[in-house]
Each structure stands twice: as C-alpha cells, then as structure tokens.
Structure 1
C-alpha cells in the first residue's frame, strides 16, 4: 500500500486560548439528537407493550426472534461448559484482577459529631437493581461483562440483569441468544439473569420492565450502565428521567503524549489497537517531535499491511477524529491532552510517571512503554468503561462508587437543636420561608 500519513495539526508557535485549543483539536461527532426522534417511538412502544414490543424490534433489527427474553439457565451453563479453556482462564485473570482493584474502592460510612448530640452520618447504600448492557456489533465483549458486573457486585448490588443482542448466526442451543462467550462470562461471574435483547429496545425494557413470553416478570431496573451504539445512547438519554444511567458513551478514543524517546512501533500499534474498535474511533498522537511523527507514519504503513481489520482501522485513522498534533514542547503537550480529555491517555515520554501527575483530565492514564491501553481493556484491574468526547474533564469512569448512593442521616437531640434554632430561624426569614423557622420554634413552645 502507499505510505499512510495521519493528518497533521500543527500548534507550534500558536498561542491559543482554552476555547480555541478545544476547537482546534481533532474530534469526531455523534449527533445523538438526530436519532432521538427515531428512537423515541421505540422506547414509548416498549414502555407500553413490554417484552412483545422488544422482541418485535429485535426481530426487525437483529433478524432473529428468541422464544423468550430471558435466557434459559441451561444455555448459560452450556456456554460456560463449552468455553475454550484458555479463554476461560484468561477471563478468570481479568475477573480476579478487577475484583482486587475494585475492592479497594469500597466506601465506609462516616459519622461527624458537630456538637454534643448533633451528628450527621453519611451512609453508602447500593442501588437495588441494575441493568448492564453489553453490545454486539463488530466484536464480542465478555470483557465488558467483567467491567460492569464486578464493580456492581463489589458495591453490594443484589439484583443484576445483563442485556445483550440475540445472534441470528448462533448455532444449536445458542440460536437467537446473545453470543455464548457473553453468556459464559455472565455464568462465570454468578449472574443468572440475562436478557436476549439489544439496542434501544433493550434500554427501554430495562427501564420499564414487562412480562416475558413465559409469563415471568421482567422487573425494571433502577440504573443502566454499559456502552452501546448511537441508538443505545439515544435511548439512555430518553430514559434518563425513568432510571439512572452511567454516561452517554461515544466512540472510543486514545491519545498518546510522546516525545523523542518513544518507540514508534509501540505508538503505531497502540493507535491501531483503538482504531480497530470502530470506523469512528479516535486515535490522536500529541508530540513535540516531528521525527517521531514521521516514524510513526512509517510504522503505520508497515503494520497496516498485516492488520486483520485493515479497512476499518484505516477509515478510523483517516477520519477527522484522528490526527497527529505537533506542539512546541512537552509542557504544551500536557496542556493539549488536558484540553482533549481522552478516554484513554498513554504517556510515552522521559519520566512518564512524573508527567502523568500533571494530567487533570483523562478517563484512564497509562504510564510508560509497558502500560498499553490493551492492558486496561482486559487485565490491568482498572475499569475500561470510561468517559468519552471530552467528558473526562468533569466525569469519571465506571467504579464501585457508580453503584452507591450517599444518604445523609441527621440525628439531633432536643438540646442540640435548641443550640442552633436561632440560626435556623434567622436564615429562614432571610430566605422568606418563615414556616421553616416556625417548624423549629414551635418545638420549644411551652
């Protein structure tokens, strides 16, 4: 193939304001608003007709109609029993490492005593029931099962349901069910409720519930997590008032901040690895080294010759969401990646650990030559469900905290309330809410 070159954005000697910098950086675009009018009737129909509507849309979109929404227990067990032994062992490594990291995220209740008899306790209570969406599409994602289930279980969520699209290509017992590797991962994690429904109809059914073809209840959830395509995202937006959602995930992103010490073989391989996900995936290299930029292009050309999903990867690397950004120096590079706020940020520089401490906005940071994003996708122990599209400036990735609610428990004695009653009354009058003050004053009338 002809030499491949990433598009270049040269920011050298260009002092830009924060707003100008954000505008100058490569960014794709998924117009969720544009598909909301198409998705809303689906959500409304599922809210009204439940499982029957969800199965109708699945038959239309996925080309298959399962006998029931809920996957039989025998199919879950068969999926685990027939899972390749090496895949099962690797999945167990991912589960064990993810459990270890997330166990350290558990919150503890704290009680603050403000005065004698005046306490406020913050209790951390898990969400009661959670729906975990696992997409289909270009790839199979048992790793997403792990990344969604483990923090929910660690938080103490008692009721979990996984929804994943049915496969028309499934054979035997697995025809019309989610991919068997998804089912096996669910069984390995101890999740016994899996729904064979995908897309916007899955989000709606999770939000509103229904009755299965078997007559069994499909109970609605309190929160929905997990990535999906633009239709899943639109359905999440529509259902946000009905249930909690983790985020509106967009196409995956990698940014690599690298200097002259970086190995272009590593840089090119990592850019390709994220472009493999989707034609809209974003791969961005930020560097003060034109030599590294040129060497990376040469490596991309060489590695693309043997890339399995070459057309998909090339499309993603050629899109407006991907580019090499040239900067004056590493300080400016740090400023650029903080403005970009990548889902995944690799630091491949001299003293990468020190540079990483300067990063304020990233879903996850991968430090040095031997911490590639691929590690985080599977076996680092970190979570790979992360904010996209610049949302890392204000949001975090999926964690145990996602599934916990903080509840303040206020416990004052009569004496403690009397001690602060005058302040409450004064503030109530200042806000023209005198009855607030009266609710306190009347407790001390005799």
Structure 2
C-alpha cells in the first residue's frame, strides 16, 4: 500500500480533502480531481494504481466515467463511493470493473479497508501473472559470485548506477551472466520492492510481440496489460535486443522517448514509471552500420554500458562458482554432491570455458545427475572440500598453472606477470611434479 498512487475524484472539496488526508500518509502519492474532465486529464499525465470516486457528480455518474475510461484503456482499479447500492447499480459497477463499494456515510477505517483490499487484489493479479510467466522461463536467478578484479569492476559500476533511472546496456558473450547482473542492479535500487520483468526479445513470436509487451483491449472492453504495464514502478530487462524485429524497434523507441505505452486497440497512452535495462551478445554498432538496427534506438539504449567479462578473464572465480553450483544442484535434486578435489579444481581452472558461466553450471548439473565428472575433469581422490578450495598452496598452484596456460607454457613470461623470478616458478612446478 505504501508504494501506491491514488486519484481521488469528487466534486465536493471537503470530501476530496478528507480522503486525501487519511490516504496521504499511507500511500506514495494522492492527487485530486474535481470533475470527470479533470480526472481524464490526470490519467493522461500519470499512472494511478487506484481511483476513488463519487458516483454522483455534475455532468454524469462515476460509473459512466469508469465505463467510458475502460473503453479508452483504463488501467487502474476503482472504488465507488455511493449513497445507494441497489442491484442495478451493483451489476453495472461489476461490468465496469469497479473493485469495491463504500456506502455513505463512512468512516476512515472503512475507506482504508476498501483501499487495502483493492490494492492487495491488484498486486496479487500482477504477481500471479508474472509468476506464471517465470515458471516457464529460464530466468537468471542467483548471486553475482566472485572476487576477481574483472567482476569487482562490474560490481562497482552497478553500484554507481543503481540509484539512477538511466538506461543501461549489458554486453558480453553468451553465458556471462548479463541477466544476473541486471537483477543485481535492480536489487540495489529503490525499485527493489517492485517487479523485475525479464523479456527475451528472440523468444516472442513476431505476431505476439505487440500484445505481449504493450497489452491489448479485449472483446469485453477490458484491458489485458502487457509486460510493460505489469512491470510499472519496477525494472524492465530486454535481452537479445539485437534480434528485435523492425516494428518492435520503432514502438520501443517511442516508449523510451515518451514514457507512455498504448495497448493494442486502446485510445489512451498510459504513462509509465520504468527503469529500462538491455542486453545483447551481438555487436550492435555493427548491426547499426549494416542497417539491421536503428541508430536512434541504439543511442537511447547505450547511455551507459556494462561489459560482462568472459569466465576465462575471471578464472579465479571458477572454484567458488563450482562449489556453489554443486551445493545448489545436489540440494535441489536430492542427490549426493560430487567431491571437488584438488585435481578436479585444477582442471576446472585450466579449462577455457567458451560457454562461460552457463557452461560451468551445465557441467556441474550434468555431473551430479550422472554421479561422476567427465573424464577430462575427473579427480584423483586427493584433497577435497574446503581443504581443496581454501588451501593456500593449492590456490597458488591453480593460479600459476592458469597463467602458464595463458602464456603457452612460457615460464619466463608467467613469472614476469606474477612479479616473481623464473626460479620461483621452476621450484613450484618441481614441488608439484609438473
């Protein structure tokens, strides 16, 4: 309730002020309208979660106004204040989509109770719609794990941008955790209690894109909200933006410029309060140069860019990620975890991971299911668990061997990068029988 915006519509100043006073300290925003005309103008200027209106007003009833607004694309719940609640009025109100009645005379607790119930139902419908969608989606959940310098740079930029409304474009190879980073940014922002809605632009059929994103007026003149409206107040994350069809590029550009959305078949453009985040593993500048992506949309998206590092550039995080995935899959599938011994961890660290974090995650999941690592990662039964992960000598060994791989076995170059002598590398390798 505290984050809601409410429009109070009544021709009597005393009633408007009374409702504003009791609601103003409990919700985010309350605005007033003295007439149906003024209320319509308010809806064109800003989005409201709930409208509280009197039924008897000059120039028509509150029910007439709600019915008219529904045809235009009204996206708010409504509470009707009335002195009369006969059967005809009740049926008309239900058809118009009124959430509740409050009979005159009423006290503060009655209106507060009606508002609380209406908002609870509204948020429950929204949460259910988003939950059903996420149940069938491969969402990027989890923590942004790792202590590498490359990931620390990403974290620092995310923390710097979290409190702003600036669009952010996440780039990087497939599997580097772009959606995970976007969710992390949302969790640090003041929108964290509102929805984070992820949309894969490549996964929606072209003939469904408009209704999925922008919503549609259905045959009974009710608005079925799209993902932009369901995300209102929160964050919309558009992934695989390079694969957006031309029609969506044009429509999205207008949304970014006007901060309004017009559902399919609706007359009104509905104001939006959204943070936009984008992601791609493609070269958008090249797509713009080749005429496959709109330059004006690219510049709107690319205000700030965060490039996610490939796993090979943050290899020191591999051990921590592998341990986390092992715990996650063994618990979620009810299967015994595999031992992460020093030999396996060294092999994981030295592998190039062309599929990035997603490839590592899939490897651990597959290995838990099969009960063994593939031969190229199988261990020799040495140190395992915390001892293998935290033992300083093993940590040093993994780091030096990874650097040698990067230097194609050139010990002098590896020593130079480490800031040690060539003899130090030789002694270490001799001690490890390598």
* The structure with more helix, counted as a fraction of residues: 2
When normalised by structure 1's length, the TM-score is 0.24
User: Which one has more relative contact order, counting CA pairs under 8 Å at least 6 apart?
Assistant: 1
